[in-house]
């Protein structure tokens, strides 16, 4: 369970909620632009980009709200806010977030590999170690996206493509660093720095595109 202080330092409580919220808003901006792109091109690949970022943004928004609510209740009541007597509210938020991330990455992978339908959607068991299991899966998904965007960037040297590649690389690093949080709580903070940087890259790309 994320909130118990096993994975994150108490001083960082709430900051991660803000990072998720900002990332979600940037994700929504990307999804909106992708929707405009799809309405012009009507290409399935652009539809996948739109749906992928929409789902990712919804997932991030959910974890942002549930974790913030959970922190507030935790500081008020000095105990975990249980959802069903066993899992806390933040856990439910994490499940939705992880589920949304898998689905979102699946759509984004299909954007790059439209011929291979549903390439390798992993089905991982929901256990108490779900945090690690799911992050391993998401890491590989993000790594694939980073690889495909890198191939695209190095083939046409598009400056905006560089920022997209950077964003996917940072997303992969975010999931990878999260795996080490049981060993050192500081990794939780570091991982979220990578997450916000990843979306900052996307935001910068979006600003560049709109400015030109």
Partner 1 sequence: MIQQVKSKWEEEDDSRRSKIGILVDILRLIQKKGGVAKPTHILYGANLSHVRLNKYMDVLMEKQFVETVNAGGRGVYKITDKGMEFVREFRKVEQFSEAFGVPI
Which residues contact partner 1 by CB under 8 A? 33-34, 36-37, 40-41, 43, 45-46, 49, 111-112, 148-149, 151-153, 155-156, 158, 160-161, 163-164, 205-206, 208-210, 212
**Rounded (5°) CA angle 69-70-75:** 100
Nearest approach in angstroms of CB 143 to partner 1 is 16
Nearer to partner 1, 43 or 116 (CB): 43
Nearest approach in angstroms of CB 206 to partner 1 is 7
Q: How many CB atoms lie within 10 A of CB 116?
A: 10
Nearest approach in angstroms of CB 209 to partner 1 is 5
Nearer to partner 1, 37 or 193 (CB): 37
Kindly state the tokens that stand for 88: 């806390």
Are 48 and 30 a contacting pair, CB within 8 Å? no
Nearer to partner 1, 31 or 90 (CB): 31
d(CA 189, CA 203): 21
CA distances (Å), origin 105, targets 172, 187, 208: 11, 23, 24
Nearest approach in angstroms of CB 119 to partner 1 is 16
Nearer to partner 1, 96 or 113 (CB): 113
**Rounded (5°) CA angle 174-180-185:** 95
């Amino acid at each position: 369970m994320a909130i118990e202080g096993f994975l994150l330092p108490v001083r960082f409580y709430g900051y991660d909620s803000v990072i998720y919220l900002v990332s979600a808003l940037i994700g929504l901006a990307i999804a909106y632009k992708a929707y405009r792109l799809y309405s012009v091109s009507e290409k399935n690949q652009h539809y996948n980009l739109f749906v992928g970022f929409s789902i990712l943004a919804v997932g991030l928004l959910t974890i942002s709200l549930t974790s913030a609510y959970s922190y507030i209740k935790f500081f008020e009541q000095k105990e975990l806010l249980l959802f069903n007597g066993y899992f806390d509210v933040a856990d439910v938020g994490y499940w939705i977030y992880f589920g949304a991330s898998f689905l979102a990455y699946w759509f984004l992978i299909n954007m790059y590999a439209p011929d291979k339908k549903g390439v390798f959607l992993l089905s991982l068991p929901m256990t108490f170690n779900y945090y690690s299991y799911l992050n391993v899966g998401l890491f590989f998904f993000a790594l694939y996206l980073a690889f495909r965007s890198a191939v695209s960037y190095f083939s046409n040297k598009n400056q905006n493509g560089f920022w997209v590649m950077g964003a996917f690389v940072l997303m992969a690093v975010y999931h990878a660093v999260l795996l080490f949080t049981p060993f050192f709580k500081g990794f939780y903070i570091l991982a979220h720095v990578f997450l916000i940087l990843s979306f900052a890259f996307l935001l910068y790309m979006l600003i560049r595109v709109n400015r030109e």
